[in-house]
Amino acid sequence: MRLQGIPKAKIAEELGIQDVGRLKIWMRKYREQGDFGLMEHRGRRKEYKDLEREVKRLRLENDVLKKWLEILAR
């Protein structure tokens, strides 16, 4: 909508956003970071890192088990 020249206040009104300043912040975050900028990040960084580690560990475990099954099949 904003790209069509509609003022921020009008967009906020149409979307039911009372704080135009909040809309400005969201627009800036989207412009700078895309969809990722609009995601909730509070308290999740550690969770993301832990999940990445867990995925890596499980992939390694799967690789080891596949190799073990190959050895047993011989």
Q: Where does the pLDDT of residue 62 fall: very low under 50, low under 70, confident under 90, or very high at 90 and above?
A: very high
The Cα–Cα gap between 52 and 62 comes to 15
Question: Is the overall model pTM greater than 0.85, yes or no?
Answer: no
Encode pLDDT of 25-60 as tens digits: 888 888 888 887 887 766 656 666 678 888 888 999
DSSP 3-51: GGT--HHHHHHHHT-S-HHHHHHHHHHHHHHGGGGGS--TTTHHHHHHH
